Amino acid sequence: MSGQGTTRSGGCLCGAVRFDARNVPATFSICHCEPCRRWTGSALLEVSIKTEDLTWHGADRIATRASSDWAERAWCRDCGTNVYFRHTREDKWFGTTDLPLGIFDDASGFELTHEIYVDHKPDSFAYESKGHKHLTRAEVLALQGYMGEDE
Ligand SMILES: [Zn+2]
Ligand SMILES: [Zn+2]
């Protein structure tokens, strides 16, 4: 399963929250910002999907929390699995939802294209480089226009 326009499904550990996603890209990014590190316990491996291309099942089991003035994070109320991150302000990423790579039923076939907040990555591990882009926190914040505030 790979290629543009792929349909994929996935869900949380207990199965109370499930999703079907259309037009799933064959790429993902890794974020090492402090909120993502604490939220995941490591780093967020994220697949960005248009929010309108996502259908949730068990949405009443999803809890959300604003992790900054411009983003929210969601998890399953029953099992605690993190299910999405999204921007809530109408910025250049508004309208997309980032799903953790690990909650897809089939997590294979995705290519790593960007690793961000690389200057905040713990020094104890590294992801294999196949030529993907590395961006520091300053480079990311300059792109987003939110100087000094993490997601
Ligand atoms: Zn669950
Ligand atoms: Zn992050």
User: What are the tens digits of pLDDT across the range 26-55?
Assistant: 999 999 999 999 999 999 999 999 999 999
For residues 109 and 28, give the distance between their C-alpha atoms in angstroms, rounded to a whole number.
10
How many structural domains is the chain composed of?
1
Please state, rounded to an integer, the average pLDDT across all residues of the chain. 91
CA neighbor of 89 nearest in space, from 68, 74, 73: 68
Residue 80 counted as domain residue: yes
H or E segment at 38?
helix 34-40
Q: Choose between 67 and 62: higher pLDDT.
A: 62
In a domain, 109, yes or no: yes
Pairing verdict, β 62-68 and 71-76: antiparallel
- Does 149 fall in a domain? no
How many angstroms does the Cα of residue 80 sit away from the middle of ligand 2? Answer: 18
Distance 9 CA to ligand 1 centre (A): 15
Q: What is the pTM of this model?
A: 0.89
- CA-based Rg of the chain, rounded to a whole angstrom? 15
Task: Residue 95: give its domain's CATH number.
Answer: 2.170.150.70
Residue-number span of the structural domain to which 126 is assigned: 6-144
Q: What ligand has the least distance to the C-alpha of 37?
A: 2
